[in-house]
Amino acid sequence: MTIRIVQEKDFVKLVGLYRSFFSAHNIFQKQSKEIVQYLKEQSQENDLIVYEEKGSLRGALFLVNFGQNADGSHKLWKFRHFAFESEDIASQLLDEAEKRVKKASKTSKIELSIAETEIGIKFYKSKNYEQEGALSNHYRWSETCFILSKSFSK
């Protein structure tokens, strides 16, 4: 098992993982070529961390730094497109992402949004992520999206 930053050879392999995990997501229901292009573009701006086991990619997430204070001592982060085949894989990816966040600044906060239809809400709460809000009709009409977060300090 290896957790690492995405490599060029990985993008095509990630299509199946993302399609199966995000069955209602507009981006991941497009043609494979379009999904690969999207993943490549996003990975140029943000870290795409993957979980590889025996040559198979079984989990992935984008770690996005979307803000900081003037001196960089406090940073805001987001997880985007966090897909995984099991909670064990999710836990290991989450641990790695949190380590990277903790190293990046004195204090930090991770936020994520998750639709009520996506798996994982209980998982995040079991990892001490707290619900901060709910958004109606956010991703899709008549669907609620929850905002979860976790804060760190050195």
**CATH code at position 110:** 3.40.630.30
Q: pLDDT by residue for the chain (154 residues), tens digit each?
A: 999 999 999 999 999 999 998 877 689 989 999 999 999 999 999 999 999 999 999 999 999 999 999 999 999 999 999 999 999 999 999 999 999 999 999 999 999 998 887 778 889 999 999 999 999 998 889 889 999 999 999 8
- Residue whose pair of structure tokens reads 């300090």 in the numeric block: 153
The amino acid at 103 = K
pTM score above 0.85: yes
Cα 113 to Cα 140: distance, rounded to the nearest angstrom: 13
- Residue whose pair of structure tokens reads 């609620």 in the numeric block: 144
Q: Domain span at residue 46?
A: 2-153
Q: Total structural domains in the chain? A: 1
